[in-house]
Every structure is written in C-alpha cells, then in structure tokens.
Amino acid sequence: MTSSPVLDRRGPGPGQPGEDGPGFVAAKKARRARRPRALTAAAMLIAAVLALPLVFLLVEASGSGGGADARLIFRPLTGELLWNTVRLTVVVTALCAVIGTAAAWCLERTNVPGRKIWAVLVVVPLAIPDFVVSFGWASLWSWIHGFRGAVIVMTLAVYPLVYLPVTASLRGADPGQEEVARSLGSGRVRTFVRITLGQARGAILGGCLLVAMVMLAEYGAFEIVGYQTFTTEIFTEINVAFSLPAACALALVLVLLSLIVLGAEGKLRGRGRVSRSGALAQRVTARHRLRRSRIPVLAGLTALTGLSLGVPVGSAIYWMAAGGRDSLTGVSMPMAALTTALYGLLSAGLATLMALPVALLAVRHPGRARRFLERSTYLVLAMPGVVIALALSYFTERYLGGFGYQTAPLLILAYAIMFFPLALVGVKASLARAPVSLDEVARSLGQPRLKVLLRVTLRLTGPGLVAAFCLVFLSVITELTATLILIPTGVQTLASQFWVYETNLSYGQAAPFALVMIAVAAIPSWVLGRFFDRGAAYPRMMT
C-alpha cells in the first residue's frame, strides 16, 4: 500500500459531527429504541381488514342462531360434499406432488436435452386458468366428467405449484450434503430419498398446501366437468338459489376444512427444518448423466407438456377455427380486456401495498406480538374466494342496504384480500434480500433514512416487489369465482365473458377469450420464472 493524500484526515467532508445543529434529535421518550409505531398501526389496520370476511361469517352464524345453521350443516348433502371434496383434494395433491417433484428433479439435476425450453414449458400451464383447462378437455371429450374428469383436469392445471418451489429448493440446496451421504456409503437411490427429498421436503409440502387450497377453492373447472364440491354448492346457493344463510353455513365448513389443511402443513413442516450451515460460496451440484433413461424422461416431459399445455391451447384454437367468423363477432373483447387489466393493476397494487407494512414488521422488527400480527393475516388463506365474496356481499346487503354491492371498489378489495398472502410471501422474500446491516452501513456513511430506502433497500427489493405484484396480477385476471359474484352489473371481465359464452355452449365465441387469457397471463408468469431463476443466483452474490 502506498501513502496517499486521500488519507489525510483533514480531507474533504463535513465538519465535526453534530456541529450543525439539526443533527441533535431529542428522543421523546428518554432512552428507548425507536419503536415502529406507524408501521405497527398500519399493519394492525391491514390485519383488521383481512379479518373482516371471517368476522362477517361468524356474525352471521351467531345471528342466525345455532339451530338454523346446524340444520343447514347436518344434512346428507353436506356429507356428500365433504366426501367429494376430500377425496378429490387428496388424490390431486398426491399426483401433483409426484409429478411436480419428478419434473423438478429431472430438469434441475439431470442433463436431459433441452432443459431450458422444458423448464419454461413445464411452468406455463400455471398461467392457464383452471377453468380454461377444464373447458379445453371437457369440450372435446364427453368422458372428461365427474371425479375422473376433475382429477385429470386439476392435476394438469396445478402441478406447477409443486414444481416451482421444489425447483428453487433443489437449486439452492447444499450439494455437499449429497456428496457426504455418498461418501458415507449411501447409494444413489438412498441418497435421493434421504438427502435430496429431505432438502426439498419443505418445498414439496409448501407446494402441496397450495394445491390443496386451490382444490378447496376451485369453482369453474368443477362446474364444467359437473363435479360437486363445497365451493360449487356455495356458489349455487348464492347465485342461483339466492340463499345467503345456507351459503354461509356451508362456508363455515369449508373454512374449517381449509384450517385443517393449513394446520396439517404447519405441523408436518415444523418437524424438520432445512438448514444450511456456513455462508460459503455456493457450488453447483453435478448433474446426473442420463443414458438409457433419457428416452423415458423425454417421453414423460413431452406427455406432460402435451397434455397440460397442448390440449387446452389446441382445443381453444380448434373451437375458434370451428366457429369461423362467428368467433370474433363479439364486440366485447377489447372492453373486457381493458376492464380486466384495470382491475388486475389496481388490486395487485393494493395487495402489494398492504403486504409491505406487515412484511417490514415481520422481517425487520421481530417480536412475539408482531409475529402474531403477521401470522393472523394467514387466516385469509383459509378463506376461498367464494367465501370472501360471500362475506362481502352479506356485509353490504345486511349493513349497507346493498350499497357498494357489485361495485368495482368492492371487487378490487375482494381481490386484494384474496391474494394478500401471495403478495406477502413475495414481499417478505424480497425484503430478506436487503439485510439490516446494509442499511446500517449506508446510514453510517452519512445517508439519511429516506435516501437509504431509495438507494439500498428498494434497489435490492425492487425485483421481488415486482414479482409479488405480477403474482397477484396474474391471479386476478384469471379469477372467476369471486368475479361472478361481485362483478358490477353490465361489466364483463375476460373470465366472466368467457363464462357467459361457455355456459351458453358458444364454444366458438368462448375460445378467443380463453386464448387471450392464456396469452396475457403468460407474461407475468415469464417474469416470475425469471425471478425464481435469479432467486437462486442471489445467495451467491450475497456472500
């Protein structure tokens, strides 16, 4: 090192610390560390808004007197719905776990040809709304019906929910563990079962939870294949029988089911935590070299993408072609697309904004009370869209005399509540990328709070926030259930217009809507794919 004039202490820079008066900040409450009061207040308000639907539901249940609800719940129909819902959820979740994990392992850990292309194709079905997949299959083949139809359609529609987290976890896993297991005399299969699956366990469970929750909440796809679950029955009670009390009674059971799923996942996950010791630079795991097994792996991937992607897209194109000029006679398309985009942007913005204070508290200011606050927002997960829509309509009808019912703000609020957990996950993950120590260093370098937020925190969390926004946007534009209940009269979104045509059996006119929804949703899912890719690259940068 050489001597240099820059090191002169009398070098440029501001004078003595605190010399300029405003530096002194009188602490109001003698010597207490700053508590995030404003943040806590905001988070509490948000938690209260999120709890509204559940509160309404409970108010309704207690208002109707236990007797009426009990009569509505304890009837043979409930048992039948329970059996239908549970067996479908279990079978589809299990299938998705197997297919999603297998696909993730093949694409992450083997040298199967064309990995990059497969990795995109395998995720795209997530962008196709479940009811569009259902439409694609059921409109072509009449045997896609009932339980069998529901299993096929839903498995193909939602397996990426397992694939995505497992891929991320396999990519982030410590290759050293597998190597150590092999060196300790454990064979390939044994290592895979004990180490690889163990590392991915949290991701698999997380994915399965998402699948199960989708199964409990799905309406459109089941309606099309004629399979009755709690959600379809609740929907019928609201929109066809106009019986809110019956709907609320069933909704209570559905919320209970969701809570059971959530609880089970929490319990299973709690037993084993995947930790990664040492923050050393990450090495990339060597890929398994496929030889003879290359053909079956390629065949499997082809079949998977063909069935999950090819059939729905092909079917939509087929119907559009068959419809000929009739397909495009509807003038409603541009208007519906605009409405959908607007609703999507507004509710994605609202949900992301709502997630920020809660996530900031959880990540930056851990504490028991605040953790409880964050946890409480997860209750929303237990409320399928149909329940949230039901609770909000019940509220407007009962307390506001119908004011606000079927208006855009209420629908946007419903979307924001429904997809808040998605936004929260994304925002939390992105905040974790900007550790507090970086803020501290930035402040010690003379940067005030606001500048630190702009120059460091937001720069690091920006991509994650965009991803969270896109995740909500994607979910909103393909949402059908709450939309059908709460949409303002005379307005149509892509999904609701599609539904109108589909239920009229105007497949030719429904098809263009299906295709547009697939195309529009594919863009955010591409952004998400990139986000997940970078998610794996980032830890390496942080060390």
Partner 1 sequence: MTLLAVTGLDKRFGAHQVLAGLNLDVPAGSLTAILGPSGSGKTTLLRILAGFEHADSGTVRIGSAIADGPGVFLPPERRRIGYVPQEGSLFPHLTVAANVAFGLSGRKWGRDRRSKRCADLLEAVGLGGLARRYPHQISGGQQQRVALARALAIAPEVVLLDEPFASLDANLRASVRADVQQLLKQSGTTTVLVTHDQDEALSTADRVAVLRDGRIAQCAAPQELYSRPVDADMARFIGEANLVPGILNGSSVQTLLGLLAVTGTDPAQDGAGAGASRNGSDGPGHRPAMVLIRPEQVELVPGTPGTPGAAGAAEPGLAGGGDSGGLTGRITGYGYHGHDAVVTVQPERDPQGPPLTVRTLGGQALAPGSLVTLRARGPVIAWPQHAD
For residue 505, what are the contacts with CB-CB under 8 A and spacing of at least 6?
none
Q: How far is the CB of 283 from partner 1 (least distance, A)?
A: 14
Q: How far is the CB of 274 from partner 1 (least distance, A)?
A: 22
Considering the complex, state which of residue 31 and residue 271 has its C-beta at the smaller distance from partner 1.
31
Decide if 162 contacts 207 (C-beta within 8 A). Answer: yes
Distance CA 194, CA 412 (A): 45
Considering the complex, state which of residue 13 and residue 270 has its C-beta at the smaller distance from partner 1.
13
Q: How far is the CB of 390 from partner 1 (least distance, A)?
A: 45
Tokens of 60: 């309704």
Q: How far is the CB of 367 from partner 1 (least distance, A)?
A: 11
Q: How far is the CB of 368 from partner 1 (least distance, A)?
A: 12
Taking the CB of residue 455, how many other CB atoms lie within 10 A of it? 12
Q: How far is the CB of 424 from partner 1 (least distance, A)?
A: 23
Amino acid found at 183: S
Q: What are phi and psi of 110, to 5 degrees?
A: -125, 170
Considering the complex, state which of residue 18 and residue 76 has its C-beta at the smaller distance from partner 1.
18
Q: How far is the CB of 428 from partner 1 (least distance, A)?
A: 18
Considering the complex, state which of residue 41 and residue 454 has its C-beta at the smaller distance from partner 1.
454
Decide if 524 contacts 471 (C-beta within 8 A). Answer: yes
DSSP code string of 86-136? HHHHHHHHHHHHHHHHHHHHHHHHB--TTHHHHHHHHHGGGGS-HHHHHHH
Distance CA 330, CA 221 (A): 24
Considering the complex, state which of residue 467 and residue 474 has its C-beta at the smaller distance from partner 1.
467
Angle made by CA atoms 159, 92, 196, in degrees to the nearest 5: 55
Core vs surface per residue 361-372: b (16+ CB within 10 A) or e: bbbbbeeeebee
Considering the complex, state which of residue 34 and residue 291 has its C-beta at the smaller distance from partner 1.
34
DSSP 8-class letter at 286: P
Considering the complex, state which of residue 201 and residue 433 has its C-beta at the smaller distance from partner 1.
433
- At which residue do the structure tokens 């809660």 appear? 358
Considering the complex, state which of residue 8 and residue 67 has its C-beta at the smaller distance from partner 1.
8
Q: How far is the CB of 448 from partner 1 (least distance, A)?
A: 5
Considering the complex, state which of residue 23 and residue 113 has its C-beta at the smaller distance from partner 1.
23
Nearest residue to 354 via CA among 38, 50, 52: 50
Distance CA 56, CA 90 (A): 30
How far is residue 489 CA from its own chain's centroid?
Answer: 28
Q: How far is the CB of 511 from partner 1 (least distance, A)?
A: 45
Considering the complex, state which of residue 10 and residue 325 has its C-beta at the smaller distance from partner 1.
10
Considering the complex, state which of residue 176 and residue 463 has its C-beta at the smaller distance from partner 1.
463
Q: How far is the CB of 537 from partner 1 (least distance, A)?
A: 9
Q: How far is the CB of 399 from partner 1 (least distance, A)?
A: 45
Helix (H) or strand (E) holding 361: helix 332-364
Core vs surface per residue 512-525: b (16+ CB within 10 A) or e: bbbbbbbebbbebb
Considering the complex, state which of residue 437 and residue 489 has its C-beta at the smaller distance from partner 1.
437
Helix/strand/coil (H/E/C) assignment for every residue in 507-536: HHHHHHHHHHHHHHHHHHHHHHHHHHHHHH
Distance CA 346, CA 476 (A): 10
The residue ranges that bind partner 1 (CB under 8 A) are: 1-9, 11-14, 16-19, 23-27, 30-34, 279, 435, 437-438, 440-449, 451, 455-456, 459-460, 538, 540-543
Tokens of 28: 């109001």
Nearest residue to 259 via CA among 213, 214, 219: 213
Q: How far is the CB of 37 from partner 1 (least distance, A)?
A: 15
